[in-house]
């Protein structure tokens, strides 16, 4: 199974990224043939950025992924901008992408509404670049959180359209969404997803938060005026904590509901806080060992880019030749 997924180096990664994406990456490395994971710095240019911070953030994210358990011997880990085939394929795919489809993307609507100065065409084009990321490797499976389903649907549509027009050159990929935790919500605004760029500070649990901060954030999570630890209407806050605890413990949401039947929210939140600290502390500790060695991180990324380029350049040669670009 050829697996491909990308993660943005914007800001610091959070519990939603960890549960929805990173955990799946780690679990899938041996199933992947290969498993390819990309730090998508070009996607980060779709909202305002600072050049020096961007470069630093790529190392932050690389170190987080390695700390979480990615092993460059068992997967391909690289930086998107090191492989120029992504941008080239973006242009070819743009020619087959319906403007109206891009206009319907909810991520574009959400993120463009939040921009104060410039809603860039890059933000609008985000899903085309994402389609190029996966299709350049003929990825079959795309591990993502729930918010990316719509973009994966669109890349499937683009691949199908390409193949209908030019023959079976591209692979139509499938999303892989975790059963529990595909959409971790902001702890302060449990009706919107936890997000790197859009959420509240107190409601965003960072992978690198210290135990004290983790505990404080979880214990001040917004709940409801009821008292039952169960999922249900108007109980988004509690449902979110149930999902988090289920994932952290490796159990099911039903089991968590049964265990906390009759308990108060205070006890329940205490248990969630403890489990989150246990889940993230080893990652933060390994991160602190890995992060200072930027030369080492750079070596990992460039070795990954070399392997990635080998695959992507093959696809691009075939794409160019079938669409009539360049010499025969």
| 197 neighbors 14 (Cβ within 8 angstroms) | no
Q: Which of 63, 135, 184, 242 binds ligand ATP (CB under 6 A)?
A: 184
Taking alpha carbons only, the member of 177, 197, 124, 194 closest to residue 5 is 177
Q: Which of 23, 86, 183, 217 binds ligand ATP (CB under 6 A)?
A: 183
Stretch that binds ligand ATP, among 11-19, 51-59, 276-284, 285-293 (CB under 6 A): 11-19
For residue 79, the cross-strand partners are 39
Find how far residue 140's CA is from the centre of its chain: 17
Q: Which of 36, 39, 134, 194 binds ligand ATP (CB under 6 A)?
A: 194
- Give yes or no for residue 196 binding ligand ATP (CB under 6 A): yes
Cβ closer to ligand ATP: 69 or 314?
Answer: 69
Total residues interacting with ligand ATP, rule: CB under 6 A: 21
| 219 neighbors 273 (Cβ within 8 angstroms) | yes
Residue 8: CB minimum distance to ligand ATP, A:
3
Residue 111: CB minimum distance to ligand ATP, A:
7
Contacts 24+ apart (CB under 8 A), 131-134: 131/90, 131/93, 131/97, 131/155, 131/158, 131/159, 132/85, 132/86, 132/87, 132/89, 132/90, 132/93, 133/4, 133/6, 133/38, 133/40, 133/80, 133/86, 134/4, 134/173
Cβ closer to ligand ATP: 122 or 198?
Answer: 198
Across the chain, how many H-helices and E-strands are there? 13, 5
- Give yes or no for residue 57 binding ligand ATP (CB under 6 A): no
Cβ closer to ligand ATP: 44 or 159?
Answer: 44
Cβ closer to ligand ATP: 69 or 198?
Answer: 198
Stretch that binds ligand ATP, among 153-161, 181-189, 261-269, 281-289 (CB under 6 A): 181-189
Residue 196: CB minimum distance to ligand ATP, A:
3
| 301 neighbors 38 (Cβ within 8 angstroms) | no
- Give yes or no for residue 81 binding ligand ATP (CB under 6 A): no
| Per-residue binder mask for ligand ATP (CB under 6 A), 135-154, x = binder | ---------xx-xx------
Q: Which of 4, 16, 83, 275 binds ligand ATP (CB under 6 A)?
A: 16
| Residue 92: how many other CB atoms lie within 10 Å | 18
| 175 neighbors 149 (Cβ within 8 angstroms) | yes
Residues near ligand ATP (CB under 6 A) are 7-8, 10, 16-17, 19-21, 144-145, 147-148, 182-184, 193-198
């Amino acid at each position: 199974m050829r697996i491909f997924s990308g993660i943005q180096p914007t800001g610091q990664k959070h519990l939603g990224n960890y549960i929805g994406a990173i955990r799946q990456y780690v679990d899938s490395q041996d199933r992947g043939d290969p498993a390819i994971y990309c730090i998508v710095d070009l996607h980060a240019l779709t909202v305002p950025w600072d050049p020096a911070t961007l470069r630093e953030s790529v190392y932050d994210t690389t170190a987080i992924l390695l700390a979480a358990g990615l092993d460059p011997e068992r997967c391909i880990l690289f930086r998107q901008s090191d492989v120029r085939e992504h941008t080239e394929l973006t242009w070819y795919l743009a020619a087959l992408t319906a403007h109206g489809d891009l206009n319907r993307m909810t991520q574009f609507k959400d993120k463009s509404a939040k921009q104060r100065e410039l809603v860039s065409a890059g933000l609008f084009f985000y899903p085309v670049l994402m389609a190029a990321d996966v299709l350049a490797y003929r990825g079959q499976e795309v591990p993502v959180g729930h918010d990316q389903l719509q973009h994966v649907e669109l890349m499937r549509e683009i691949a199908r359209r390409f193949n209908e027009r030019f023959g079976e050159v591209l692979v139509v990929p499938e999303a892989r969404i975790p059963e529990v935790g595909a959409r971790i919500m902001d702890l302060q605004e449990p009706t919107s997803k936890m997000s790197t760029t859009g959420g509240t500070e107190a409601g965003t649990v960072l992978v690198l938060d210290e135990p004290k901060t983790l505990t404080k954030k979880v214990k001040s999570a917004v709940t409801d005026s009821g008292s039952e630890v169960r999922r249900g209407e108007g109980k988004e806050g509690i449902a979110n904590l149930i999902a988090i605890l289920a994932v952290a413990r490796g159990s099911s949401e039903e089991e968590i509901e049964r265990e906390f039947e009759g308990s108060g929210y205070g006890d329940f939140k205490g248990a969630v806080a403890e489990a989150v600290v246990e889940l993230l502390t080893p990652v933060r500790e390994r991160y602190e060992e890995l992060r200072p060695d930027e030369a080492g991180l750079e070596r990992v990324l460039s070795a990954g880019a070399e392997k990635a380029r080998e695959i992507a350049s093959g696809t691009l040669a075939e794409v160019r030749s079938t669409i009539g670009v360049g010499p025969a």
